[in-house]
């Protein structure tokens, strides 16, 4: 079954992949948050502080002062001294840029099923701050019928990135294109896809999207997501986004290669992180919090759901997104919550239809079921032995002990024996209790109460994160160069460091390795290894920084003529 992909995979590996060198932030901890520093507020080490809202149902927002409808065809700025009401489909077109100032509130009209569309070639520049986020929310008020999931459409970003599935009415020549799902009719403003995975659809940072996900028609799958990213390229910046009370998925990617960091899916209806159509981006630091009373009556609700496409055979590129540092809390929470009759919650992770996503260094608690490898084509990807073989990886994760079943079996080959062997090989820990995982204050009596998802000092997840392997490489090395290179990039953690740091790297064969440390002037200050022999595999070298002054240093890894250098910051 894999033979149909190998030639294409070899071709893809001959060019750099994931070219943004500084994306991954190495951590010592698993999950989305570090060990608590016992400080609250924006200045703490809790990245969710300041800009999030755990009780948007009761938040009082200003009354709209400006109504926006129809297409935006020229560069436009929305200012924080006004409140905007979206009516119907509002599409930014004609290569225009929409800029939204920090603190601006945008409300979606319920009656007209409003949504904001950033069409191909146009851009959004919605950059809030930790103390002054941008809010996209419902036009409804807390009083009366109140607010709820699917009050309005949501935010739709459309780009020219590569997708693997074209619609039957789309242009038959050129790169694949498609119309984004949900809309009852097709029109040019909702077309996505192309051949540019590095393009930019703009920036969204420190934004909240609340009560989105309305169904635009009676047709199945006509719901919009809170944040839809379709064919969006890696030049787009997505970070610090909270999607709350969505009527469908919180975040869904259709193809493209946009990266994202610091994402929160809060009390949504369907899936939290959904990947389709050949999405190949990277996501780090994500939080999921589910509500026992909100699930998808028409289908099933999962933490992760990933497809290649339906039915999922033979289309390239395969969906191969990489996630790391996720904390995924299901509706049963710490295990003490009983689910209501008729609920539709299913799996923490649902991989199907030939997907090959990877999830690393993550924590899963409070779900009915753990990981489901569905179907023979998907099983083939996770049973692969190399990245040339469309390999997806679940590695170095904790699936809480009280989840049952931890692994879902079907006729596709992922039976109990395979899961057990895979878990042992890939450090998937199913023995830890929720108490041992030690989330600081993740299970308040009411979900809207103050929360803290950081780890306590005794947490078993406080150490043990692993950023080795090809999924964390700055780029994929050409086939001819692999014999003299590391399989993955040099990783330094923690960085910044105080008393010590660790250097992690991986060798594809036995080789001589030099690890040297230089100060900012280029003076050699430490030699950790000089042409010492290292065996094939993962290696960690400790660097004691107690004798080094605060400042910037450079750590150089040299292997058989290949050299890589990383900046190290020392703070004392």
Tell me the per-residue pLDDT of 192-206, one tens digit each, with 9 for 90 and over. Answer: 999 999 999 999 999
Mean pLDDT along residues 524-543: 80
* Strands across the sheet containing 551-559: 524-534, 511-519, 551-559, 562-570
From 446, 473, 500, give the residue that closes a domain.
473
Number of domains composing the chain: 3
* Strands across the sheet containing 407-408: 89-92, 115-118, 155-158, 227-230, 251-254, 273-276, 304-306, 347-351, 369-373, 407-408
Indicate whether 2 pLDDT > 60: no
The answer to whether residue 14 is domain-embedded is no
The answer to whether residue 11 is domain-embedded is no
Closest CA to 538 of 425, 404, 390, 371: 425
The answer to whether residue 22 is domain-embedded is no
Q: Which residues, 6+ apart, have CB-to-CB distance to 307 below 8 Å?
A: 275, 276, 277, 319, 352, 353, 354, 355
How many whole angstroms separate alpha carbon 303 and alpha carbon 229?
Answer: 18
pLDDT confidence of 488, banded at 50, 70, 90? very low
The answer to whether residue 89 is domain-embedded is yes
Q: Are residues 510 and 465 in the same domain?
A: no
* 8-state DSSP, 345: B
Asked if 203 contacts 124 with a C-beta cutoff of 8 angstroms, the reply is yes
The answer to whether residue 333 is domain-embedded is yes
The parent domain of residue 487 ranges over: 477-570
Q: Are residues 424 and 553 in the same domain?
A: no
How many whole angstroms separate alpha carbon 467 and alpha carbon 495?
Answer: 13
The answer to which of 75-89, 359-373, 502-516 has the lowest mean pLDDT is 502-516
Main-chain phi, psi angles of 378, to 5 degrees: -70, -45
Asked if 287 contacts 310 with a C-beta cutoff of 8 angstroms, the reply is no
The answer to which of 361-375, 400-414, 422-436, 446-460 has the lowest mean pLDDT is 400-414
Main-chain phi, psi angles of 77, to 5 degrees: -125, 130
Main-chain phi, psi angles of 490, to 5 degrees: -65, 130
- Which single residue is written with the structure tokens 């074209």? 166
pLDDT in tens, 261-314: 999 999 999 999 999 999 999 999 999 999 999 999 888 999 999 998 877 666
Q: Are residues 297 and 417 in the same domain?
A: yes
Q: Are residues 430 and 332 in the same domain?
A: yes
Indicate whether 1 pLDDT > 60: no
Asked if 128 contacts 103 with a C-beta cutoff of 8 angstroms, the reply is yes
The answer to whether residue 13 is domain-embedded is no
* Three-state secondary structure of 251-314: EEEECCCCEEEEEEEECCCCCCEEEECCCCCEEEEEEEECCCCCCCCCCCECCEEECCCCCCCC
Indicate whether 238 pLDDT > 80: yes
Q: Are residues 208 and 88 in the same domain?
A: yes
pLDDT confidence of 517, banded at 50, 70, 90? confident
CATH code where residue 546 lies: 2.60.40.3080
Q: Are residues 70 and 107 in the same domain?
A: yes
Q: Are residues 210 and 87 in the same domain?
A: yes
* 8-state DSSP, 472: G
Mean pLDDT along residues 199-216: 96
pLDDT in tens, 153-176: 999 999 999 999 988 888 767 899
pLDDT in tens, 403-443: 999 999 988 779 999 999 999 999 999 999 999 999 999 99
Q: Residue 96 is encoded by which pair of tokens?
A: 């225009």
The answer to whether residue 321 is domain-embedded is yes
pLDDT of residue 446: 95
The answer to whether residue 486 is domain-embedded is yes
Question: In b/e form, how buried is each residue of 455-484, taking b as 16+ CB within 10 angstroms?
Answer: bbeebbbbeebbbbbbbbbbebbeeeeeee
Q: Are residues 55 and 94 in the same domain?
A: no
* pTM to 2 decimal places: 0.81
From 454, 473, 492, give the residue that closes a domain.
473
Indicate whether 20 pLDDT > 70: no
The answer to which of 48-62, 229-243, 422-436, 457-471 has the lowest mean pLDDT is 457-471
pLDDT of residue 508: 65
pLDDT of residue 19: 35
Question: In b/e form, how buried is each residue of 130-142, taking b as 16+ CB within 10 angstroms?
Answer: beebbbbbbbbee
pLDDT confidence of 498, banded at 50, 70, 90? confident
Indicate whether 487 pLDDT > 50: no
Question: Could you please report the per-residue DSSP string of 146-192?
Answer: ---TTSS--EEEE-----S---TTS-SSSS--EEPTT-SS--GGGEE
* Between residues 466 and 217, the one the model is more confident about: 466
Indicate whether 9 pLDDT > 50: no
Q: How does the average pLDDT of the chain come out, rounded?
A: 88
Q: Residue 174 is encoded by which pair of tokens?
A: 């050129």
Q: Which residues, 6+ apart, have CB-to-CB distance to 420 below 8 Å?
A: none
Asked if 63 contacts 83 with a C-beta cutoff of 8 angstroms, the reply is yes
Q: Are residues 492 and 421 in the same domain?
A: no
pLDDT confidence of 504, banded at 50, 70, 90? confident
Q: Are residues 81 and 177 in the same domain?
A: yes
How many whole angstroms separate alpha carbon 190 and alpha carbon 236?
Answer: 18
Q: Residue 501 is encoded by which pair of tokens?
A: 């740091």
Q: Are residues 303 and 415 in the same domain?
A: yes
Q: Are residues 442 and 307 in the same domain?
A: yes
């Amino acid at each position: 079954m894999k033979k149909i992909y190998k030639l294409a995979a070899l071709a893809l590996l001959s060019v750099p992949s994931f070219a943004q060198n500084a994306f991954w932030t190495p951590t010592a901890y698993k999950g989305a948050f570090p060990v608590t520093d016992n400080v609250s507020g924006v200045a703490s080490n809790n990245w969710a502080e300041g800009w999030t809202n755990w009780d948007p149902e009761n938040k009082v927002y200003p009354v709209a002062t400006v109504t926006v409808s129809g297409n935006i065809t020229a560069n436009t700025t929305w200012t924080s001294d006004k409140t905007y009401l979206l009516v119907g489909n509002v599409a930014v077109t004609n290569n225009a840029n929409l800029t939204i100032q920090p603190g601006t509130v945008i409300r979606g009209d319920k009656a007209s099923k409003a949504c904001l569309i950033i069409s191909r070639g146009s851009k959004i520049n919605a950059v809030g701050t930790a103390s002054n986020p941008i809010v996209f929310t419902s036009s409804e008020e807390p009083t009366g019928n109140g607010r709820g999931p699917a009050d309005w459409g949501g935010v739709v970003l459309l780009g020219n990135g590569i997708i693997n599935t074209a619609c039957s009415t789309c242009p038959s020549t050129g790169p694949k294109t498609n119309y984004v799902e949900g809309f009852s009719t097709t029109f040019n403003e909702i077309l996505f896809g192309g051949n540019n995975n590095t393009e930019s659809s703009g920036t969204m940072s420190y934004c909240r999207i609340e009560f989105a996900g309305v169904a635009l028609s009676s047709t199945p799958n006509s719901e919009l997501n809170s944040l839809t990213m379709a064919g969006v390229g890696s030049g787009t910046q997505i970070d610090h986004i909270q999607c709350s009370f969505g009527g469908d998925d919180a975040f869904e990617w259709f193809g493209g290669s946009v990266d994202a960091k610091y994402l929160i899916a809060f009390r949504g209806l369907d899936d939290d992180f959904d990947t389709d159509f050949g999405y190949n981006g990277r996501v780090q630091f994500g939080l999921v919090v589910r509500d026992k009373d909100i699930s998808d009556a028409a289908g099933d609700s999962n933490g992760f759901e990933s497809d290649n496409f339906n039915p999922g055979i033979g289309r390239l590129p395969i969906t191969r997104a990489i996630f790391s540092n996720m904390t995924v809390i299901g509706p049963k929470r710490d295990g003490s919550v009983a689910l209501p009759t008729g609920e539709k919650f299913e799996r923490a992770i649902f991989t199907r239809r030939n997907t090959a996503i990877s999830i690393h260094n993550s924590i899963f608690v409070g779900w009915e079921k753990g990981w489901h490898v569905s179907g023979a084509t998907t099983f083939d990807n996770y049973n692969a032995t190399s990245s040339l073989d469309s390999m997806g990886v679940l590695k170095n994760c904790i699936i809480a002990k009280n989840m049952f079943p931890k692994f879902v079996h079907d006729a596709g080959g992922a039976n109990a024996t395979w899961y057990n062997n895979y878990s042992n090989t890939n450090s998937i820990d199913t023995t830890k209790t929720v108490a041992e995982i030690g989330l600081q204050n993740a299970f308040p009596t009411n979900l809207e109460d103050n929360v803290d998802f950081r780890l306590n000092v005794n947490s078993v997840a406080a150490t043990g994160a692993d950023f080795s392997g090809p999924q964390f490489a700055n780029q994929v090395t050409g086939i001819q160069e692999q014999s003299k290179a590391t399989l993955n990039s040099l990783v330094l953690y923690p960085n910044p460091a105080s008393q010590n740091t660790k250097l992690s790297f991986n060798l594809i064969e036995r080789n001589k390795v030099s690890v040297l440390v230089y100060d900012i002037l280029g003076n050699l200050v430490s030699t950790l290894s000089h042409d010492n022999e290292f065996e094939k595999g993962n290696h960690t070298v400790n660097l004691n920084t107690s004798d080094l002054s605060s400042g910037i240093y450079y750590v150089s890894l040299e292997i058989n003529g290949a050299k890589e250098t990383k900046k190290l910051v020392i703070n004392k």
